[in-house]
Amino acid sequence: MIDAPEGNKVELDNVLLINNDGKIVVGDPIIAGAKVIAVSHGEVKGEKVLVGKFKAKTRYRRKMGHRQKYTRIEVQDIIEPGVKNGA
C-alpha cells in the first residue's frame, strides 16, 4: 500500500521491466534510472478471501474472512533510463 492521498502524483523508481513496442528491457533486479509516474485514486479494499479451519473428529470448524487494502493508481508516464522527463 502506498501512502498517497487521492489525486496526488506518485513516483515509482523500482522498475523491473519495460516493454516499448517490442523492445524489452529487463532489470537486474531493477532498471537503474527508470521511473513510473502515476496518479493515486485513493485507498480501496480488495475482494474478500475466506479462510476455513477444520479438525476432524473434534467438532472444530472456523470460518474467517480478510480484505486486503491497497492503493489504486493510474500510470501517466514511464520514463526509460537516459531519457529526460519522458520526452
Domain assignment present for residue 4? The answer is: no
Helices (H) and strands (E) in the chain, counts: 0, 7
Does 3 map to a domain?
no
Residue given cell 467438532 in the structure block: 59
Residue 50 covered by a domain: yes
Domain of 15 in residue numbering reads as: 9-79
- CA nearest 81: which of 41, 42, 23? 23
Count: domains in the chain: 1
Residue 33 lies in a domain: yes
| Domain presence at residue 63 | yes
pTM greater than the 0.85 cutoff: no
What are the tens digits of pLDDT across the range 24-83? 889 899 999 999 999 999 999 999 999 999 999 999 999 999 999 999 999 999 998 876
Residue 14 lies inside a defined structural domain of this protein: yes
In this prediction, residue 1 has a pLDDT band, given cuts at 50, 70 and 90, of: confident
Assigned domain for 87 exists:
no
Residue 13 resides in a domain:
yes
What integer pLDDT is reported at residue 82 of this predicted model?
A: 76
pLDDT at 84: 66
